[in-house]
Amino acid sequence: MAWWLLKTEPGVYSWDDLVRDRRTVWDGISNNAALLHMRKARPGDLALLYHTGGERRAMGIAEITSAARFDPREKDPKLVVVDIEARTPLAVPVELAQVKSRKEFEGSQLVREGRLSFVPLTPAQWKAFLTLGKTRP
């Protein structure tokens, strides 16, 4: 199993939208590094849904339910999508400032490459998010 952080602008698609919809196709990623990560995601992997913009906080846990596949709505074959399903909200949203203060995130792509929208997390980083979010796996 792998762990991921998926960034979204809450005005475009939020944690509440995913909870309402229960599942969605995660698309709209064009950054090459993010696409490389997305191609590594597998069904059963877990992901934190993270609000960008003025919020900058992790909101809830989703599960990756499909392997990456070409986005049929795009003409560019390098663009891929995955399916995700809502699992559980974090009891307490985890703010970016909290993440930056933790040693587990020193040098992580989440902190170093703020614009990266599909980010891998180490087991220690995943555990830190759950601890900060007061949520059990």
Distance CA 133, CA 77 (A): 37
Dig out the tokens for 75 from the structure: 């003409």
Give which of 79, 68, 55 is closest to 4, Cα–Cα: 68
Q: Average pLDDT per run of 10 along the chain, which is 137 residues long?
A: 97 98 96 96 98 96 97 91 98 96 90 88 97 91
Q: Residue 89 forms beta bridges with which residues?
A: 60
Domains parsed from the chain with CATH numbers: 3-132 (3.10.590.10)
Residue 10's pLDDT is 97
